[in-house]
Structure 1
Amino acid sequence: MNLEKILAISGKPGLYVLKVQTRTGFVAESLADGKKITVNLKSNVSLLSEISIYTYEGEKPLAEIMRKIAVKENKGAAISHKEDNAKLTAYFKEILPDYDEERVYPSDIKKVLNWYNMLQAKGLVTDEAPAVAVEEEVAVVGEEIPVVEDVKAPAKNAKTQK
């Protein structure tokens, strides 16, 4: 599963695909409408590949949980994240029976299901579960982009010499 280029940006709805890294942040494209936005380094951004869910034995990566949802649903859509909390927790218990019910809140379950359904609707659920569609732009992102350091112009001398 490849969720490395999929982002959740705090304060912005939906999921984004990392397109290009810049000196002051990066450019991301919305999965919902395809619009590109610039995100500065001060923004709170989460890579889906770095998110885990608490279990009683430790933590399970989000990619593994999404893979289990894809298997259960035969790569189809999961239940809506708008269902009542009892239905959501029962569904999630089928996917991940040992999840820590004290540390995983219904809001977390809603996010996971909403994210899975977004990826599924965009056709990004493959045999290995959600993955980023391969495009030329995305392939370039995998390469390391050299960072250009700020070059300061020499300070002008306040006094002119005669």
Structure 2
Amino acid sequence: MSIQKILAIAGKPGLFELKIQTRTGFVAESLLDGKRITVSMRSNVSLLSEIAVYTYSEEVRLAEVFKAIATKENGGPTISHKEDDAKLKSYFREILPEFDEDRVYTSDIKKIFNWYNLLQPKGLVTVEALSKEETEAPAEESAK
């Protein structure tokens, strides 16, 4: 499993792994409880590999943010997404100093920390795993 197949589905808690595509949508498995759900094409779904964070100069891919957190925490879990807003922003500024504070909301930061802490025990946000994905992603894009 890689971050390339991890989904965030609007209205559903947690993250999901894309299992199979069907004629009317796809089947995804929850990373929280392992239950499978069917998701229609009308659902608002985001691949984590396609999400980026605004900075003052560019957009930084979520995988790079996860890699920065993993480096800071030596591959361990990060702070809870339930911490107070000031502490979350301060910590996020340590890992991504140039993030655009006008366009990156506290709710976005909370999601990032929550997602990281969901993926970390599964070994998906280690520095090695994310480095491997970064080298594979450009090859996939050039093949299109």
Is the aligned partner of 1:105 residue 2:105?
Answer: yes
Is the contact between residue 16 and residue 29 of structure 2 (CA under 8 Å) also seen in structure 1?
yes
1:74-89 alignment runs, 5 A limit: 74-89=74-89
Q: Which moved more, 1:37-46 or 1:117-126?
A: 117-126
Q: TM-score, normalised by structure 2?
A: 0.86
Is the contact between residue 85 and residue 106 of structure 2 (CA under 8 Å) also seen in structure 1?
yes
What's the Cα RMSD here?
1.4
Greater relative contact order structure (CA < 8 Å, 6+ sep): 1
Equivalent residue number for residue 46 of structure 1: 46
Is the contact between residue 120 and residue 130 of structure 1 (CA under 8 Å) also seen in structure 2?
no
Bigger Rg, which one: 1
1:1-162 alignment runs, 5 A limit: 2-129=2-129
The verdict on how the C-alpha distance between 1:34 and 1:130 changes in structure 2, with shifts beyond 3 A counting, is: farther
Equivalent residue number for residue 159 of structure 1: none
Q: TM-score, normalised by structure 1?
A: 0.77
Equivalent residue number for residue 140 of structure 2: none
- Unaligned segments of structure 1, at least 5 residues: 132-162
- Unaligned segments of structure 2, at least 5 residues: 132-144
Identity %: 68
Relative to total residues, which structure has the larger helix share, 1 or 2? 2
Q: 1:15-71 CA distances to partner (integer Å, 9 max, x unpaired)?
A: 000000001000000000110000000000000001000000010000000000000
Q: Could you tell me how far apart the structure 1 residues matched to 2:113 and 2:127 are?
A: 18
How many pairs align? 130
